[in-house]
Amino acid sequence: MRVGIGGPVGSGKTALTEKLCKAMRDDYSVAVVTNDIYTREDADALIRMQALSSDRVVGVETGGCPHTAIREDASLNLRAIADLNARIPNLDIVFIESGGDNLAATFSPDLADVTIYVISVCQGEEIPRKGGPGIARSDLLVINKTDLAPYVGVDLDVMNGDAGRMRGSRPFVFADMKRGEGVGEIVRFLKQTGGL
């Protein structure tokens, strides 16, 4: 199963990827492909956090707009996944973390079987109602950094109502990756959705 994790810069994509790897690596064969414009920063961070061993983490340098590498021309990511599959047979899950982008980023269906879109309460309580494909059409929306809501003047009830209206029957989760809140719910979603 290939899981695309997208969202704006600073929303908590790498923290989510770390928590998911640590929560699932004992039961499943897991690998990660990260996307950064000019560095391997997120891949290196995941290795430092000991989310997975370094042979299971590949950093892709997109050299331009991050959304191009996950949507219009996913060849860099597809090659990285093929390389991982060749080196590590029988992978169960590959997390593909997009570089930070805007609210219009989406994953090509050729690249991701399941998509998770991450936003942060720090971006403002109006973010869910602004919409965009990630918010409205991802398989799961994660509203992260809930612990910071009182400090940035965000009403989580407003975000809850707006997310519900924008997503219809599609699920969303409030989370705090720093404390691991919401991780269990996200793992259950992935197991159910991916048939794991």
- Which residue ranges make up the annotated binding site for GTP? 7-14
CB atoms within 10 A of CB 45: 17
> Is 157 exposed, middle or buried (CB count within 10 Å of its CB: 0-12, 13-18, 19+)?
exposed
Annotated binding site: 7-14
* Torsion angle, alpha carbons of 127, 133, 139, 143, to 10: -10
DSSP-assigned states of every residue in 20-45: HHHHHTTTS-EEEEEEESS--HHHHH
CB atoms within 10 A of CB 126: 11
